[in-house]
Amino acid sequence: MLVNNRIIKSLNRDYRGIDKVTDVLSFPQNDPFYFSKNSGLPIHLGDIVISIPKAKAQALENCVSFYEELSRLLVHGLLHLLGYDHEDGRHKALKMRRREKELMEILCR
């Protein structure tokens, strides 16, 4: 979902107890079981919410295009849905950052 700063701030406050604007939020559907046992087809992992104004501001700050920043936020949110967590220690943060970089390199080829 692509939203404005007011909406993402409200979601961040309501679901994380943090009353400020953030760039991306992930809401997992279930524990990370990625494929249906019966069909082998992907299942719904959850929802990703991205703040468009925050993405635009970060693109300017980081000297990247808006679409590159939007892609990075989408990858970041997806990694959270897959079980990565950068807020649970330095080692996990580095692991998530490396994976994010790998996926962005693939996307930007």
pLDDT digits (tens, 9 = 90+) for 12-66: 999 999 999 999 999 988 654 555 565 666 677 899 999 999 999 999 999 999 9
pLDDT band for position 88 (50/70/90)?
Answer: confident
| pLDDT (0 to 100) of residue 29 | 84
Give the pLDDT confidence of 63-77 residue by residue, as tens digits.
999 999 999 999 999
Specify the pTM. Answer: 0.84
Contact criterion met (CB below 8 Å) for 86 and 92:
yes
| pLDDT (0 to 100) of residue 30 | 67
**Structural domains present in the chain:** 2-107 (3.40.390.30)
| pLDDT (0 to 100) of residue 108 | 80
The CA–CA distances, whole Å, from 58 to 22, 71, 72, 103 equal 11, 12, 11, 19
